[in-house]
Structure 1
Amino acid sequence: MHKRNLIVVLLTALITVACATSPTGRPQLKLFPSSDLAEMGAASYQQMKQETPIEQSSRVNNYVQCVANAITRQTGGTWEVTVFADDQANAFALPGGKIGVYTGLLDVSRNQDQLATVIGHEVAHVLADHGNERVSSQFATQSALQLAGAIAGGGNGGMGQAAMAALGLGAQVGVLLPFSRAQESEADVVGLELMARAGFDPQASVQLWQNMARSSGGSPPEFLSTHPGHESRINKLNENIPKAMPLYQQARNAGRRPNCG
């Protein structure tokens, strides 16, 4: 069998082993059990709590906890929330039910609905099993590159090394980064629905990302970024807000009216 065909056959076999579907119907590659990802998430979370200062203000902690609790009540399970005293405007959620919010985010998310946009987005990553996807795609790509290198045999000297370097760059730009952008866009859509079901106004999501755009200044070209550009993200949200608004009204009618301050 031709070497190139052998690579294709082996990669196809790997991908078909763990074919799954995301909450929006997108095909997913998931090679690892959820329990392994939960252990990795818990270990990373514990390390972050040891290395990053934790916010001591009860007012700030109560506010963030209130928003996060309203979101996670719609998901079930047990979630741990930590506010980190750090100026970066960011948050994260990890497999195993771990949420981290940096105090710098509170300068950009100016009300509870805008904060719910970010927390809903991060929780959506966990619900959609994006962590497993990312680890699996990186594992599959690295395995393919190693296989290609082994088959190439390294007999071409500098030319062979240059080809492998180009192949690695192509894999990074052509596979891993766009794949991550797909996850980010999906988390926006799922998070929008999640915040609406919790009783937060989905229209605040656009205001949040407008704030993010103003605060971030210049950003890399979208095709070299793991995240959608601000304009692309806002356009996608505007497309999906009409679908989320009925869920928001249902939540309000059912008495889900968060008042986190």
Structure 2
Amino acid sequence: MRRIGKALVPGALALILAVACQTVQTTHGGAVGIERSQMMMVSSQEVEQASSKQYQEVLAEARKKNALNRDAAQVQRVRRIADRLIPQTTVFRPDAASWKWEVNVLSSDELNAWCMAGGKIAFYSGLIDKLKLSDDEIAAVMGHEIAHALREHARERISKSVATGLGISVAGALLGVGQGGQDLMGQVAKVTFELPNSRLHETEADRMGVELAARAGYDPRAAVTLWNKMASQSSGAPPQWLSTHPSHADRQKDLSDYAARVMPLYEQARASRS
């Protein structure tokens, strides 16, 4: 009987996986033409809920350390740029207009920024201060990170972890309750703070990011100058959290090519704002 019981478990899990697995197109292609379909095994709702909880924990911890939104002028600057970028997200996915966007600045020397599922954005003061970022360069960073959220790259990576049996429990991931819900929060934290994105995800975010910036009236070519500044701070190589990005030369070329592609959008946006 025990053998039979054990034999049923993999079959049951396989059935759950087959039912849960779905192929989705998270975004429209936009001018940059992102058309890849994605395999998902965790729902958007589950990842967004876990991300929201994880985000609030990060903010609470920063608040305890007096590291949350300390520089009012800097916070206002970052949020002003976000206010121009966020409306452009509907080009890629109309439902992003209904996301509960949040934008906060954390006082830290880290060269970092991220956007969790559902539009939970954090900028680190060190990124702005150490690199002396222009508004165009802040928009380049933010557009890139927002693109990760629009494409649901975190959900895709968590789904891959589930499929390979290396991450959260399958049942917990699918139900989003109990210990599984806690594990899902842990996976959100891991893919946000610890694991670098794949080259494919970074390339998608780069291309979508320059389009978002251009549509918001920010110079998309700033993505190239931003990357040069990042490399200069890390002895010619990207920081560890960017370790699987494309090579410096390849990335520069791709960013330059796609910035040129969206320059007409930038010119239109500038004209409409003048």
Both proteins in one fold, TM over 0.5 = yes
Distance 1:254 1:218, change over 3 A: closer
TM-score normalised by the chain length of structure 2 = 0.71
Residue 72 in 1 paired to residue 86 in 2?
A: yes
Distance 1:211 1:68, change over 3 A: same
Q: Which residue of 2 aligns with 1:18?
A: 22
AA paired with 1:59? A
Counterpart among 135, 153, 158 of residue 130 in structure 1? 153
CA distance in 2, matches of 1:218, 1:234: 13
> How far 1:142 moved relative to its partner?
2.0
AA paired with 1:105? L
CA distance in 2, matches of 1:36, 1:140: 16
CA distance in 2, matches of 1:179, 1:71: 22
CA distance in 2, matches of 1:192, 1:17: 31
CA distance in 1, matches of 2:109, 2:197: 28
CA distance in 2, matches of 1:15, 1:134: 19
AA paired with 1:74? Q
Q: Which residue of 2 aligns with 1:100?
A: 122
Q: Deviations over 1:80-114 (max 9, x none)?
A: 11100001111000112210000011022520000
AA paired with 1:103? S
1:216 alignment partner, SS class = coil
CA distance in 1, matches of 2:59, 2:196: 31
For structure 1, list consecutive stretches of 5 or more residues without a partner in the other structure: 1-5, 147-176
Residue 237 in 1 paired to residue 255 in 2?
A: yes
Q: Which residue of 2 aligns with 1:112?
A: 135
Equivalences, count: 216
State whether residues 26 and 38 of structure 2, in contact with CA within 8 Å, keep that contact through their aligned partners in structure 1.
yes
CA distance in 2, matches of 1:191, 1:183: 12
Root-mean-square deviation (CA), in Å? 3.0
CA distance in 1, matches of 2:37, 2:235: 34
1:29 alignment partner, SS class = strand
> How far 1:179 moved relative to its partner?
7.3
Q: Which residue of 2 aligns with 1:156?
A: none
Larger gyration radius, structure 1 or structure 2: 1
AA paired with 2:219? D
CA distance in 1, matches of 2:196, 2:163: 15
> How far 1:54 moved relative to its partner?
1.1
Q: Which residue of 2 aligns with 1:27?
A: 37
Q: Which residue of 1 aligns with 2:233?
A: 215
Q: Which residue of 2 aligns with 1:59?
A: 73
CA distance in 1, matches of 2:196, 2:20: 20
2:42 alignment partner, SS class = coil
AA paired with 1:18? Q
Query: Where do residues 150-169 of structure 1 align in structure 2 (5 Å cutoff)?
Result: none
Q: Which residue of 2 aligns with 1:168?
A: none
AA paired with 2:50? M
